[in-house]
Structure 1
Amino acid sequence: MSNHTVLSRDDRSHEHLRAKCEDCFGLCCVALPFTASADFALDKKGGTPCPNLQSDFRCGIHRNLRKKGFKGCAVYECFGAGQKVSQVTYQGKDWRETCDNETSNEMFTVFPIVQQLQEMLWYLTEALSLKEAATIHIQLRQAIDQTEKLTLLSPNQLKQLNVSTHRAEINNLLVKTSELVRAGSKSKRKIRRGADLIGANLRKADLRGANLRGAYLIAADLREADLRTVDFIGADLRDANLSGADLTGSIFLTQAQVNAAMGDAKTKLPRLLSQPSHWSA
């Protein structure tokens, strides 16, 4: 980002929820397991360094992840959990500096827990920025404060944390936010939550105000679709074609979801998200 870029208040509030790999010790490249598939070129066990991880904690094929068969890595987003665990939870001590496997394994256990909390913070911060959700802004601020405090717990406390229970509480606020935002846009299509829309032909469809929470939109044709004020939380957009689609004003859409989809220069994204490098011009 240019030093001359002027960030709005909402942009600034999201900055600490973006991955800063230079402040992380390659935790996602070590802690997380993956299986050889269309997303990964090989099998890797959790807690084992990826063979592409270099001694400086940088990825040796970062610019060619998709070409090398690591699309899953190009899509992944930690929401700033990497730098928080590296620099805050463990105060700048990396997993290679530990004197025993127990401590390094603890880091790898803590990382995905903090990642989930950071993702909740992303959604809550977005909700707080929405004027339609003004009636619950106090509750949203309280939830942000509470969740932020949880991210700062000790490793042992984090391991004992019931993330599912906390997520359920946060989800209630996010559902309410969604209802408030979508109230002014009545979707012309009745789509149930978690709908199977794999490969669906939704080209030029008017989906304004639709609830696509948890929907399976893998390889769906959404070219030139009107997706304003759509709730995308948890939607699977892998290989969905968003070319020319309008997603301005959509809510709870993440960079990871956008990275997993296809699009072009005519695709209109929410302000906080950017066009992936693999999209066509």
Structure 2
Amino acid sequence: MTTIDALVKQLMANVKSYLPDSDVDLIKKAYDFSAKSHEGQFRRSKKPYITHPLEVAIILSEWERAVETIVAGILHDVVEDTGVTKDQLVELFGLTIADFVEGVTKLNKLEFSSREEAQVENYRRMFLAMAEDYKIIIIKLADRLHNLRTLQFMPPKKQKAIARETLDIYAPLAHRLGMGSIKWEFEDLSFRYLYPEKFQELKDQIEMTRKEREAYVNERVKDMNGLFKKAKLQVDISGRPKHLYSIFKKLDKKKSSINEIYDLLGFRLIADTVEDCYHALGVIHSKYKPVSERFK
């Protein structure tokens, strides 16, 4: 099975899990059209260019986006990088999808030249204003995410420019849209290319890998849910390991060492009332001893 075949299979499996057959057929049609349009084009990785739109569509399908968004993700580069016109897209896929593709194309042409905070904020507002539908932003975030994941194939100068732009523009946008996990991935991947030595040093200092930390978090969540059940408390609990960039910022701000950072893992508890919040805190402290000087 080729790389392309494997990507198509993954995309189809994803969309079939939540979209009707008619939508899946439209996605297949969009793939066939995009593959033909990008035929003969290659990425810097030497892979056929169609692998990029497919990866973008897979990311969108993992977010369980609507069919129009996924189709536009597959087609997002055909107007900019091939001879396809918007009129052709309207005829084949409808005005909404054609507008989404056109919107992404316009965003691709934006240039961010200043790092002054006020100007960066203006760029973010301009970015949002140019996207007439928030789904265009979603497609662009998926596009940027895959480009970041494959940034190793770009020249070093380009790597740093893309990473800086991602930290300044795309990570805050993901945060505004409530896409926390995407924001964290943007930040960690950008951190890796902007400050490679600091990234590696911090990565080496943290003994547990991210997967191990995630497994530890899941175990603690399970334990705490058991405690709350026994105490007949209705509490919504979630947890996550802190990502590397947030740890780096904390170390840099406090000018401290990794040994002085206590919150490499984070948990959030939501209860119905203030009384239940304090009751839940007491239940947790009955098993896990608080560090008094760190308790707020």
TM-score tier (shorter)? under 0.3
Instruction: Report the structure, 1 or 2, having the larger strand content.
Output: 2
Structure showing greater Rg? 2
Q: TM-score, normalised by structure 1?
A: 0.24
